[in-house]
Amino acid sequence: DAMVIQNPRYQVTQFGKPVTLSCSQTLNHNVMYWYQQKSSQAPKLLFHYYDKDFNNEADTPDNFQSRRPNTSFCFLDIRSPGLGDAAMYLCATAMGQKQYFGPGTRLTVL
Amino acid sequence: DAKTTQPTSMDCAEGRAANLPCNHSTISGNEYVYWYRQIHSQGPQYIIHGLKNNETNEMASLIITEDRKSSTLILPHATLRDTAVYYCIVRFGNQFYFGTGTSLTVIP
């Protein structure tokens, strides 16, 4: 039973062409996260929402934006993808003590 | 700056205990230590967490030193399916900061 769903699993975009990655959850958790994971590196926290409150990490580039229209959905918008933005993007939720991760979306930038 | 440091890789014989260390010397009093693992191309999976007491669950044990500057994750009887990257994480409030991870290989 999928609890954190990410669509699509694989996304290809062109250099500079805006792209949106989607995440949904069936857990009704109040916190949602976006992480960037580059090849052979640890996940890096980009930002998170506590309910509707948006919390940006200090070193997250302005090129990355997020929207959370309701509890279930959260979107990652990359306004002008560069080659360096190619990575796995992980969505996670949390309520209480644990984080629950989705399977990730692998973004390729051509 | 990384909040945790871990060895890059470790091997463990199948059926033996795997002991994965983590240093978190700058941890503050209200920051929890979490362990997650990630199997190739999947999202990280929760293993265990603790604040200052040792913890045990069905997957693993977590030993935290008294000064809380380091911890050890113990997989008591490693199997081939435990081959993964193990991340030691410090949690502050709602923010989870991943360490560099240890790639554990369980050898038959």
Best mutation target among B6, B31, B35, B38 (most A Cβ atoms within 10 Å) is B38
Residue located via tokens 């979306």: A105
Q: Determine the pLDDT at residue A2.
A: 63
Could you read off the pLDDT of B46-96 as tens digits, one per residue?
A: 999 999 889 999 999 999 999 999 999 999 999 999 999 999 999 888 888
CB contact under 8 A, A103 and B101: no
Q: What is the mean pLDDT of residues A89-97?
A: 91
Could you read off the pLDDT of A51-78 as tens digits, one per residue?
A: 999 999 889 999 999 999 999 999 999 9
- In A, minimum Cα distance to B48 occurs at A98
State the smallest CA–CA distance between residue B98 and chain A in angstroms.
6
